Amino acid sequence: MKRRTVVAYAAVATLLTLTACGGSDNDSGESAAADAPAQNRAEEDSGGEESRDEASGEAGDSDESADSSGGVITQIQDEALNRNIIYTIDLQIGVADAAQASGEAASLARTAGGFVARENTTERTSTLTLRIPTDEYADAVEDLQELGEVVHRDTETEDVTQDVVDTESRISSQRQSIARIRELLGEATDLSDVIDIESELARREADLDALLSRQERLSDLTSLATVNVTFSENDDEEEEEDEEAFGFIRGLSGGWDAFTTTLSVGAGVIAATLPFLVLLALIAVPTWIWFRRRRPQSPAARTATPTGTPDVPPSA
């Protein structure tokens, strides 16, 4: 009996021990499962902060690079400044004295580092072609406009960057080709080969000279702006004089003009009708003579005293 009781107590104790162990395991598993998402969220949060830090760092680097480069507008302006552009400006300015304005314009061009390429001056107008460095032409044009009243302005630009680059590339290739031909000329031993190589060398050197001339022309056009300016004297003073002379002299002049106009119109009418009058006279005069001869004479004309017989007065 006692032995069974001891065995029963031992079994109950063992069962309780197993139950306690299973509960602790479950609690530890649940606690571990509960801690895992928290740990993952912490890692994700730390990773997100690191990524945000990296992004902010990259943004800061990009901002610093943008600031150091001067911004997009500055970059565009720098790229535009590096292009080869031909500037042509046409100006027409009204002034009081065209000759004086022409001299001042020439002085402005020389001050800006340019020169007068062409000049044509008449009594009331003066036309100049100025070549001004492209870095100074804008200020020079503003100074020219202050010499009088701007009547017309036209600005034309031509981008020849591609032509400049293409010309430089062709010049480099042509020089390399000439160098290779000269090497072949030095190695040639046959007379016919020498003649052919020299002919080809002369042709390529001529092409090189043409390219160098084009390069020089493009450099001149892009380094110096062309400003065509025409100064014309104003007519304000003449208009004032005409208004003051509206009195007797102007009226007499208008009457004389009307008289001469009338004479001119009358002379034109006569000149227009003269051929018809001549034709009418050629027809009318013979007709009048014919009718006059056919008209019968009156009796008084037939009994008239013969011509040459003097009348004798009766005696007393």
pLDDT tens digit sequence for 167-208: 999 999 999 999 998 998 888 888 888 898 899 999 999 999
When the pLDDT of each residue in the chain is averaged and rounded to a whole number, the result is 74
The token pair that represents 100 in the structure block? 């004086």
- Whether 58 has a pLDDT exceeding 70, the answer reads no
- Whole-number Å distance between alpha carbons of 201 and 181: 6
- Whole-number Å distance between alpha carbons of 229 and 146: 13
- Whether 138 has a pLDDT exceeding 60, the answer reads yes
CB atoms within 10 A of CB 192: 8
- Whole-number Å distance between alpha carbons of 70 and 68: 6
Lowest mean pLDDT among 13-17, 140-144, 149-153: 13-17
- Of the two residues 229 and 268, the one the predictor is more confident about is 229
Selection from 49, 47, 28 nearest residue 39 by Cα:
47
Q: What are the CA-CA distances from residue 278 to residues 89, 267, 271, 281, 291 (Å)?
A: 65, 16, 11, 5, 20
Boundaries of every domain in the chain: 80-161+227-233, 162-221
pTM listed for this prediction: 0.48
Query: For residue 78, what pLDDT band results from cuts at 50, 70 and 90?
Result: very low
- Of the two residues 194 and 61, the one the predictor is more confident about is 194
- Whole-number Å distance between alpha carbons of 200 and 192: 12
Q: Tell me what the mean pLDDT of segment 288-315 comes to.
A: 60
Task: Kindly report the backbone phi and psi dihedral angles of residue 178, in degrees, each rounded to the nearest multiple of 5, phi listed first.
Answer: -65, -40
- Whether 115 has a pLDDT exceeding 70, the answer reads yes
Lowest mean pLDDT among 109-123, 189-203, 242-256: 242-256
Lowest mean pLDDT among 25-29, 118-122, 311-315: 25-29
Q: Tell me what the mean pLDDT of segment 80-94 comes to.
A: 86
Query: For residue 283, what pLDDT band results from cuts at 50, 70 and 90?
Result: confident
Percent helix, strand and coil across the chain, each to the nearest 5: 70, 15, 15
Residue range 80-161+227-233 in CATH 3.30.70: yes
- Whether 231 has a pLDDT exceeding 90, the answer reads yes
Q: Which residues contact 171 (CB under 8 A, 6 or more apart)?
A: 208, 211, 212, 215
Please give the pLDDT value at position 227.
Answer: 94
- Whole-number Å distance between alpha carbons of 220 and 206: 21
Share of the chain above pLDDT 90, in %: 37
Kindly provide the residue ranges of all beta strands, DSSP E only, lying in the chain, ordered along the sequence: 85-95, 115-121, 125-133, 149-159, 224-233
- Of the two residues 316 and 218, the one the predictor is more confident about is 218
CA angle 16, 22, 25 (to 5 degrees): 140
Query: For residue 47, what pLDDT band results from cuts at 50, 70 and 90?
Result: very low
Query: For residue 21, what pLDDT band results from cuts at 50, 70 and 90?
Result: very low
Q: Please say whether the beta carbons of 134 and 222 come within 8 A.
A: yes
- Whole-number Å distance between alpha carbons of 164 and 216: 10
- Whether 155 has a pLDDT exceeding 60, the answer reads yes
Q: Please say whether the beta carbons of 225 and 87 come within 8 A.
A: yes
Please give the pLDDT value at position 236.
Answer: 57
- Whether 46 has a pLDDT exceeding 70, the answer reads no
Please give the pLDDT value at position 162.
Answer: 92
- Whole-number Å distance between alpha carbons of 135 and 133: 5
Q: Please say whether the beta carbons of 96 and 131 come within 8 A.
A: no
- Whether 152 has a pLDDT exceeding 80, the answer reads yes
Q: Tell me what the mean pLDDT of segment 245-265 comes to.
A: 75
Share of the chain above pLDDT 70, in %: 62
- Whole-number Å distance between alpha carbons of 93 and 44: 75
Q: What are the CA-CA distances from residue 225 to residues 78, 130, 147 (Å)?
A: 19, 8, 20
